[in-house]
Amino acid sequence: MRHGDFSTLFVSLISVGIGQSMLFAVLPPAARDLGVSPFQVSTIFAVSATIWVFVSPWWGRRSDVVGRRPVILVGLLGYALSMALVASTLTAATAGVLAAALVHPALIASRSTFALLGSGTGPAAQAYVADRTTPTERAAGVALMSGSMGLGETIGPGLAGLLASLGLAAPIYVAAGLAVASAVLVWHRLPDDPVPRRPASRQVTAMRVSDRRVTGFVMIGTALQAVRATTVITLALYLQDTLHLSSSGAARFAGFGFMTLALAGLFSQVVVVQRLRPRARTMIRTGTPLILMAFVLLTLPARFPVVLSALALLGLGLGLVRPGLSAAVSLAVEADRQGAAAGLLSGFAVIGNVLGPLVATALYASTPVAPYLLNVAIMVPVLGYALLSRRVHAIPA
């Protein structure tokens, strides 16, 4: 792998990881203080995710035509704009400038900007890595990309805790600034292909989820998005309600939780995958039971050490399965379809971000443990598929 080509890309992904983890730690309790219910919080992310499903594959195909770097740049700047709008909405609502009835729709519109403009960064970045790795290096290269996000997600919660003393919107403003700085770095330092991978005059057809080469992997990715998004969106509320914490206390405890999740994922991606170089199918089959075990732990009576242990298992599992899936999809398609394949995996899997949190937060009203019971029910058939499917067994080495 040509790591020199990747360093700038990885720095930009670290900044996105920082911003995302800060947002998930801060937004649920901040929105609740402004009168936004847990279910309404889930709709903020669900609407954005619904848009993402349709837009991300399009951005992936565009990167096959115009190159990877332009799409990455648009994504970073769109992400920065979205975070600035979210932070401005919270600031205006806290100051009483924005009417309470407008807070929820304003947050939906702000987050949706990320889906419209920012959803191309992931597919284009994955395709960039695929362009510059051999098939045998693919899983390790994708794991390094995921590890960069994981490093940012490790730093983000602690940074959010430090910045929260300046106001709950402060971490989100900082995230917007980091994304702009990353875009400047990409503009000046990221090498790109000298010509588009496909002639612009040649039509780029969409990949379909019914393509048997990738169907099973996309469905696993959708399930993982559902259980991860459910956990991320409900964790701060779960800790606040079961441990009887204030909003700031919930954000702080959730920050420790997200840091644990990210550190465990980082260990999987940067240490286990890079040193052992397991096959993609091994990563899928090893990580899936760890994820199931994590959610079983979260159904037990709430104690913070148990929650941290569950999040560590979840991070270890996701750190193996997610790059394994990305490598499997990449290896299943032609070289000039890498952007389309990455966009399909990124876009369709986000359906999990829509359905999982919506159902989970509706169930949350009955008992805080309900979202994690739902996640157990989702992961049982996923584990069965991972262990028994011939398609998983046939992933190339």
Q: Is the pLDDT of residue 225 over 80?
A: yes
Q: Alpha helix (H) ranges present in the chain? A: 3-33, 38-66, 68-94, 100-113, 121-131, 138-163, 170-189, 215-242, 247-266, 273-276, 280-298, 304-332, 338-349, 351-364, 370-388, 390-393
Please provide the average confidence, as pLDDT, over all residues in the chain: 83
Instruction: Assess whether pLDDT exceeds 50 at residue 201.
Output: no
Read off the pLDDT of each residue in 103-131 and give the average, rounded to a whole number.
90
The residue among 195 and 118 whose pLDDT is bigger is 118
Would you say 91 and 73 are in contact if contact means Cβ atoms under 8 Å apart? no
Indicate the burial class of 165 (C-beta count within 10 angstroms; 0-12, 13-18, 19 or more): exposed
Each residue's pLDDT tens digit, 50-83: 888 788 888 888 888 888 899 999 999 999 999 9
Q: 338 or 133: which carries more pLDDT confidence?
A: 133
Q: What percent of the chain is modeled with pLDDT above 70?
A: 88
Distance CA 297, CA 227 (A): 14
Higher-pLDDT residue of 129, 194 = 129
Q: Which of 233, 214, 224 is nearest to 351 (CA)?
A: 224
Q: What integer pLDDT is reported at residue 195 of this predicted model?
A: 46
User: Tokens 């992904």 sit at which residue?
Assistant: 13
Residue 193: per-residue pLDDT? 63
Q: What is the pLDDT of residues 250-270, one digit of tens each?
A: 777 887 888 888 889 888 877
Q: Tell me, what's the pLDDT at 3?
A: 46
Q: Is the pLDDT assigned to residue 208 strictly greater than 80?
A: no
Range from 155-164, 166-175, 370-379 that averages highest in pLDDT:
370-379
| Contact present, 336 and 197 (Cβ < 8 Å) | yes
Find the mean pLDDT for residues 313-334.
83
Q: Quick one: pLDDT at residue 210? A: 64
Whether the CB-CB separation of 379 and 291 falls below 8 Å is answered with: yes
CA 141/CA 300 separation, integer angstroms: 37
Helix (H, G, I), strand (E, B) or coil at 116: helix
In contact, 1 and 274? CB cutoff 8 Å: no
Q: Which of 31, 4, 26 is nearest to 253 (CA)?
A: 26
CA angle 310, 312, 313 (to 5 degrees): 65
State the Cα–Cα distance between residues 306 and 326, nearest whole angstrom. Answer: 30
Segment 345-363 shows an average pLDDT of 76
Q: How far apart are CA 294 and CA 257, in angstroms?
A: 13
Both structure tokens of 255: 């920050």
User: What is the rounded average pLDDT of the residues 221-233?
Assistant: 86
Mind listing the domains of the chain with CATH numbers?
Answer: 3-189+209-393 (1.20.1250.20)
Residue bearing the bigger pLDDT, 279 or 211: 279
Q: Cα–Cα distance between 213 and 332 in angstroms, integer?
A: 6
DSSP for residue 191: -
Work out the widest C-alpha separation in the chain, in whole angstroms: 60
pLDDT at 200: 47
Please provide the distance, in angstroms rounded to a whole number, between the alpha carbons at the two ends of the chain: 17
pLDDT band with cut points at 50, 70 and 90 for residue 352: confident
pLDDT of res. 308: 92
